[in-house]
Amino acid sequence: MKRVATWTVAAMLAGLLTTPSQAASCLVVTLTGTQGGPSVFNGQAGAGTLVRYGDDGNDCGALKLQFDVGRGTNLRLSQIGIAPQQLNAIFLTHTHGDHTEGLADILMLRWYMKGPDIDIVCSNDAASVLGVVHSCRKFVMHIADAFIASGEVDERRSEDTARLEGGPARLVKLMTFDAKEEPQQVWSSGDVKVGAIRSTHIAGHVSYRVDTPAGSVVIGGDASNDAQAPPRAHSTSDQVERLAKGADVIVHSTIHPILGPDQGSGFPAPIYYRQSTASDLGAMAQRDGARYLMLTHLAPSLGAVLHNRWKVPGGALTEADYRRAVESSGYTGTTIVGTDLVSLRLPAR
């Protein structure tokens, strides 16, 4: 009896035994789109990451948070049984089209299906050094203007007046914040907290961190170093590194060094330098102690001989090429080279 009792206590302490009243919490991170940049290749969806949290009783699905909504996000979500009206909140890292083109699709279908209001979280208006104002607020609040102008919204309301007058933007509870140099909480629900920090890419770009009892995940977006060209210590964002300290998972866009200015691809140096390289992301993940690094928004895409219109020197890259670049930095955690709908569960089954 003593041996059985000892094992039982140990198992409970390890979280291996649960009761119906206290199911084990869990977190699932799914890449809903991994296309790098505005182009299209091989049916990949645009950039996006779904974070689900719950417990074993609801298949980790009590809360569903979508970070960025590139083209095809709705289709990818449907492949894993998630309808747009089931999302609890949407977070935008920045307003580049390859990260936002799917938002109109999400909101139109949510409105058509008479779904509930939804929180959309993003940074306040920000101006570039050239005076270009990037406005998530205007983008979201005018998301369905084309469908209003075409008569689509009025037509659908004439079929069912329970649909909100004014169209999909009426569903939105817009939550904007000033992007700051240090992490700040921007959203919460129960035990789940979402923080954000300013990071460099275009004006208004931010990165996010989700903290749950089952683990933590950082969504870097397209962040890079404040110094937008060498000399610099690394291509990665110092702000994201602070945000990710002690996180379990880092999800980040990446560019492979093969597209560097010294490799002969012709890829524009300013665009290359405003992305984080796979090798530098590995080094950052190692410094932060992250157990998992999920590469997404791959430049170039796996199997592509062209990135946008530039030739990939030496031919198409494989997962092994990206993994080698990460591991060259000394990263000892697990590298996941992103493909659409690849998922990571914490804790693993």
Residue 10 has pLDDT above 70, yes or no: no
Give the 3-state secondary structure of residue 93: coil
- Mean pLDDT for 313-335 is 98
Count other C-beta atoms under 10 Å from residue 158's C-beta.
10
Residue 337 has pLDDT above 90, yes or no: yes
pLDDT of residue 111: 98
Mind giving me the DSSP string for 4-69?
HHHHHHHHHHTT---BTTBPPEEEEEEEEE-B-SSS--TTPPPSEEEEEEEEGGGTT-SEEEEE--
Give the 3-state secondary structure of residue 344: strand
> Residue 287: which residues within 8 A CB-CB, separation 6 or more?
241
What tens digit of pLDDT does each residue of 119-168 get?
A: 999 999 999 999 999 999 999 999 999 999 999 999 999 999 999 999 99
- Asked whether residue 14 is domain-assigned, the answer is no
State the Cα–Cα distance between residues 54 and 249, nearest whole angstrom: 17
At 329, give phi and psi (nearest 5°).
-85, -10
pLDDT of residue 12: 39
Residue whose C-alpha is closest to residue 153's, from 116, 115, 107: 107
- Looking at residue 270, which CATH number applies to its domain? 3.60.15.10
Domain count, the chain: 1
Residue whose C-alpha is closest to residue 156's, from 103, 110, 87: 110
Residue 104 has pLDDT above 70, yes or no: yes
pTM of the prediction? 0.93
Cis peptide bond upstream of 231, omega within 30:
yes
Residue ranges of E strands in the chain: 25-33, 48-55, 63-67, 89-91, 118-123, 126-127, 133-134, 172-177, 184-189, 192-198, 206-212, 215-219, 249-255, 292-299, 306-307, 310-311, 334-337, 343-346
Written as six digits, the tokens of 211 are 């903290």
Q: What is the domain extent for residue 232?
A: 25-346
What tens digit of pLDDT does each residue of 297-308 get?
A: 999 999 999 999
Q: How confident is the model at residue 21 (pLDDT cuts 50, 70, 90)?
A: low
**Across the chain, what does the average pLDDT equal?**
94
> Residue 97: which residues within 8 A CB-CB, separation 6 or more?
38
pLDDT of residue 22: 72
Residue 208 has pLDDT above 50, yes or no: yes
pLDDT of residue 18: 46
- Mean pLDDT for 263-285 is 97
Amino acid at 145: D
| Structural contact between residues 193 and 208, judged by C-beta atoms closer than 8 angstroms | no
- Asked whether residue 16 is domain-assigned, the answer is no
pLDDT of residue 13: 41
- Mean pLDDT for 108-117 is 98
pLDDT of residue 173: 98
pLDDT of residue 23: 87
